[in-house]
Amino acid sequence: MKITLRLIIALILAVTAVALVFSYFTVQSEKARLTSELEHRAWLVSEGLKESVGPFILKGPSKKFDSIVEKISKGKQIIGVAVYDMTGKTVTVSKELSAALPSNLNILFEEFKSDEGRGAYEKIASKQAYLYAVPTHDDEGARTGTVVIFSDASYIDEYLLDIWRRNFLRILANVIIISIITLFVIRWSIVGPIARMSEWIGNLRSGKFDEAFKMPKEDLFTPISKEISSLAKSLAVAHARAEEEAMLRQHAEAVWTAERLKGHVRAKLGDKKLIVVSNREPFMHIRSGKIIECISPASGLVTALDPILKACGGLWVAHGSGNADRDVVDRHNIIRVPPENPQYDLKRVWLTQEEEEGYYYGFSNEGLWPLCHIAHTRPVFRMNDWARYQEVNLKFARALEDVIGNETYIFIQDYHFALLPRIIRERHPKAKIALFWHIPWPNPEAFGVCPWRREILHGMLGADIIGFHTQFHCNNFLETVDRNLECHTDWEHFSITKKEHTTYVKPFPISVDFTPSPINIEIKSKEELFKEIGVKGSILGIGVDRLDYTKGILERFMAIERFMEKYSEYRGLFTFVQIGAPSREHIKSYHEFAGKVKAEEDRINWKFQSGDWRPIVFLHRHFSHAEIEPYYRHADLCMVTSLHDGMNLVAKEFIVSREDEQGVLILSTFTGASRELRDALLINPYDIEQMAGMIRAAIEMEPEEQRLRMKRMREVVREKNIYKWASDIITEITQIHHE
Ligand code: G6P
């Protein structure tokens, strides 16, 4: 308040001072103008009169003389006229003046002395008057007397007073307007935002991070807004860590965190290095026009491994597939990532178009992918693709040559590199190698259709440890090896020994980072989300997938169609948003699949849509984590309906986002995640009726039951988080000993 008052007083003083100075000069110039007008008029009248009355003075009073004087005295602003003879005696006086005529007029005597016209201001009958005296002469030019014109000058003062009065009122009006405007401006632009800011900081201090703060737009706040944002971020991180630590103590060190993993890795690895190898890179540089953008691709593998590399540093070797990837690496093809806060090295391996075609699109994704996923899509095996697959595995082995030493641990990812463990083993017999297979492993019969099944198994067994998401996949693998290779399979220890090298096969259920995001990111509201997708609805369902035929997206849409048919009361209320990241689109089956999803969306919407509402919104583009987050947070239900899936991290990401312990997860029993998340509504994606019923059950589930289920699932994901997965694998890797 004090500052407001000070500001108002300062403004008023400044405005008043300026107004007074201007008024003063206006009054002065008006005064000069009016007096000069008055004096000029008096002079004009007297000049005319002196000619006509000059000769009459000597003759003494006469009627004619009186009538001339009387006529002149009726002029504008003239009080009267007096005529004197040479002795100073009054010859004649106009009637109205005669009573008020002063007996002694200084001006008269001055005029006598100078023989020229003279003017002066006098009070006549308590009124300000201007007196102008001129000498008169006879026809021969001899002096005869004096004529005095009495003009009214009082109107000048009145007029000037009026100017002052009007200016004073103007100043008063200015003062009132300035005060009101200043009060409003200060209230809206300064006091209001500061009050909101301090309330928000107060909340932050007491640990309420749920609300994203909107900084005032005014320029005034730009410098502090940046500072406050980063301060808030640090505070939120510190708070999250403290909470995590406290929780950790409560759970007797049961929960794994980034910090704890770091310590664990340091203790286990010492100064040895961890190298991760995968096909997909964690960060891709994409050129759009002149700008190079950095995106994180949609991949469960990336989601899981990025936090580990961030926690323990090291090196990630991957295919550089972004069209601007080459422009940003150093001469060793390395770049530090993540771009905003570099914490580990990414080494890019370049592939020719032919290699990518055969190794990635061909053998990996048209051969091994459908081979391992039981999703009724026939695998395609081409001799050429197999040749490229072998070449690229070799190429990666070569890229690793300058970074592998005896003291490195190599952690290979997925079905793109089934041959890599063996190639490395042959070159470095003492290398410590782990391979994690992120997709399911089928039964021996299904795997048996692959023409190069033995080479693949032999290649994989070059690793010391092979990990799958579930025990079921481990069992399938052991059986497959048993049926296809000459080796010793130990079912008790889950190991395979071939030519004196032993490989251990173990389940490591992968997960996500559970650390609550230090929420400074602006989270859109549910209403904003509906507005953004252009739908009027109130119940929100969400699905987030790469556009892949294994994800059961068409079955999901059919279930939504059935739900709308059976439970028509939800038409106009429930909308399902399907986020579908484009994936492997050069492959015919993927290309066609994207078309089918779009066509199904159109067909079902056409059937039920009305006004501004439609049941399905299919968003076919890449979404960043930050963009997906508000959908996860506001969804009433999330559907994961994979026909077959190694783990499925979308299910876990959804759970991590639900700090409010609300929302229902509908989950396929054919995902690895369904083994852990028993509180989801478990479904068979081939059973459309069951899925439709589960959508209804999810929507109608009481908040209390939602809370109970979500709480238990959150507990599972929190404990079995990505850091636990990493620590389990690292513990295993570091226990490897070669004689
Ligand atoms: C699955 C695989 C990953 C792969 C991801 C995305 O999760 O297990 O290895 O990175 O799909 O597929 P993409 O072909 O785009 O890398």
Average pLDDT over residues 174-198: 83
Q: What is the C-alpha to C-alpha distance for residues 462 and 736, in angstroms, rounded to an integer?
A: 13
Residue 365 in contact with residue 380, Cβ under 8 Å? no
Residue of 727, 737, 738 lying closest to 312 (CA atoms): 727
* CA 644 to ligand 1 center in whole angstroms: 14
- Average pLDDT of the chain, as a whole number: 89
Q: Percent of the chain, pLDDT > 90?
A: 59
pLDDT at 87: 80
pLDDT score for 387: 98
Cβ neighbour number for residue 110 with a 10 Å cutoff: 13
pLDDT at 232 over 90: no
- Please tell me if the CB atom of residue 545 comes closer than 6 angstroms to any atom of ligand 1: no
Higher pLDDT, 9 or 234: 9
Structure tokens at 699: 């929507």
**Closest to 622 in 3D by CA, of 555, 532, 545, 522:** 545
Q: What is the mean pLDDT of residues 697-709?
A: 98
> Is the pLDDT score of 589 beyond 90?
yes
Mean per-residue pLDDT, 239-254: 60
**Tens-digit pLDDT profile for residues 368-416:** 999 999 999 999 999 999 999 999 999 999 999 988 877 789 999 999 9
65 pLDDT band, cuts 50/70/90, is confident
Q: How far apart are CA 98 and CA 89, in angstroms?
A: 13
**CA-based torsion, 266, 268, 270, 271: positive or negative:** negative
* CA distance linking residue 461 with residue 683, whole number of Å: 35
Least confident segment among 13-17, 135-139, 613-617: 135-139
Asked whether residue 519 carries a pLDDT value surpassing 60, the answer given is no
Residue 247 has pLDDT above 70, yes or no: no
Q: Residue 107 pLDDT more than 80?
A: no
CA of residue 706 relative to chain centroid, distance: 31
Cα-to-centroid distance, 369 and ligand 1 (Å)? 10
* Pocket of ligand 1 contains residue 301 by CB under 6 Å: yes
Answer yes or no: is the C-beta of 349 below 6 A from any ligand 1 atom.
no
Crossing angle of the two packed helices 688-700 and 553-566, in degrees rounded to 10: 70
How is the chain split among helix, strand and coil, in percent rounded to 5? Answer: 50, 20, 30
Distance 306 CA to ligand 1 centre (A): 14
Rg (CA), the chain: 49
Distance CA 215, CA 465 (A): 51
117-131, 164-178, 486-500, 621-635: range with lowest mean pLDDT: 117-131
Nearest residue to 666 (alpha-carbon basis) of 687, 649, 644, 691: 691
Q: Please give the single-letter amino acid code of residue 445.
A: E
Distance of CA 474 to the CA centre of its chain: 45
Region 609-619 average pLDDT: 98
Which atom of ligand 1 has the smallest separation from the CA of 416?
9
pLDDT at residue number 240: 64
Q: Cα dist. 562→542, 555, 566, 579 in Å?
A: 17, 10, 6, 21
Overall average pLDDT of the 434-460 stretch: 98
Q: Is 550 in the pocket of ligand 1 (CB under 6 A)?
A: no
Least confident residue range of 34-43, 90-99, 108-117, 557-566: 108-117
Q: Quick one: which of 572, 579, 650 has its CA closest to 608?
A: 572
Q: Tell me, what's the pLDDT at 243?
A: 63
Mutate to test the pocket of ligand 1, among 277, 278, 279, 280 (most ligand atoms within 8 A of CB): 280
Taking the centre of ligand 1 as the mean of its atom positions, its distance from the CA of residue 440, in whole angstroms, is 13
Which string of b and e fits 355-377 if b means at least 16 CB within 10 Å? bbbbbbbbbbbbbbbbbbbebeb
pLDDT for res 286: 95
What's the rounded Cα separation, in Å, for the pair 319 and 340?
21
Task: Find residue 58's DSSP bridge partners.
Answer: none
Instruction: Give, for ligand 1, the residue of 279, 296, 299, 365 to mutate: max count of ligand atoms closer than 8 Å to Cβ.
Output: 299
The tokens of 421 are what? 């463990």
Closest CA to 273 of 316, 330, 332: 316
Answer left, alpha or beta for residue 252, where phi above 0 means left and psi between -120 and 50 means alpha: left
Residue whose CA is at the smallest distance from ligand 1 atom 8: 438
| Number of other residues whose CB lies within 10 A of the CB of residue 629 | 19
pLDDT > 70? residue 206:
no
State which ligand 1 atom lies nearest to the alpha carbon of 364.
14
The model's confidence at residue 236, banded by pLDDT at 50, 70 and 90, is low
138: region left, alpha or beta (phi > 0 left; psi from -120 to 50 alpha): beta
Quickly state the pLDDT bin for 239 (edges 50, 70, 90).
low
High-pLDDT (> 70) share of the chain, %: 91
Q: Which of 152-166, 255-269, 394-408, 656-670 has the lowest mean pLDDT?
A: 255-269
E runs forming strands in 112-260 = 118-124, 127-137, 143-152
What pTM was estimated for this model as a whole? 0.69
CA distance 621 to 626: 14
pLDDT score of 529: 97
Whether the CB of 583 sits within 6 Å of ligand 1: yes
The alpha carbon of 302 and the centre of ligand 1 are apart by a number of angstroms equal to 8
How does residue 115 score in pLDDT terms, banded at 50, 70 and 90?
confident
CA 583 to ligand 1: nearest atom: 15
* Mean predicted confidence (pLDDT) in 454-473: 97
Q: Tell me how long the chain is.
A: 739
Structure tokens at 447: 């795997």
| Protein residue closest via CA to atom 4 of ligand 1 | 299
Whole-number Å distance, alpha carbon 298 to ligand 1 midpoint, is 8
Task: Report the DSSP beta bridge partners of residue 273.
Answer: 408
pLDDT of amino acid 340: 85
Look at residue 482 in the predicted model and tell me its pLDDT.
96
For residue 621, the 8-state DSSP code is S
Cα 733 to Cα 269: distance, rounded to the nearest angstrom: 10
pLDDT for residue 606 is more than 70: yes
Please report which confidence band the pLDDT of residue 536 belongs to, taking 50, 70 and 90 as the band edges: very high
CA-nearest residue for atom 11, ligand 1, is 299
Q: Is 414 in the pocket of ligand 1 (CB under 6 A)?
A: yes
295, 369, 414: residue to mutate for ligand 1 pocket, most atoms within 8 A of CB: 414
**How far is residue 530's CA from residue 541's CA, in Å, rounded to a whole number?**
11
Mean pLDDT to the nearest integer, 92-108: 79
- Predicted confidence at residue 478, as pLDDT, reads 97
User: Which residue has its alpha carbon closest to ligand 1 atom 16?
Assistant: 280
Mean pLDDT of 653-665: 97
Whether the link from the prior residue into 338 is cis, omega within 30° of 0, is: yes
Q: Which of 568, 629, 499 is nearest to 212 (CA)?
A: 629
**Cα–ligand 1 centroid distance for 666 (angstroms):** 23
- Residue recorded with tokens 């500061």: 194
**Average pLDDT of 274-287?**
96
Q: Which of 486-500, 542-556, 631-645 has the lowest mean pLDDT?
A: 486-500
Residues 6+ apart with CB under 8 A from 518: 209, 233, 236, 237, 239, 240
Decide if 84 contacts 125 (C-beta within 8 A): no
Confidence of residue 11 (pLDDT cuts 50, 70, 90): confident
* Residue the block writes with tokens 């513990």: 731
- Taking residue 354's Cβ as centre, other Cβ atoms within 10 Å add up to 11
Rounded Cα distance between 52 and 167, Å, is: 46
584 lines ligand 1 (CB under 6 A): yes
Q: How far apart are CA 337 and CA 443, in angstroms?
A: 39
Residue reference for tokens 């405007």: 181
Asked if the model's pLDDT at residue 221 lies above 80, the reply is no
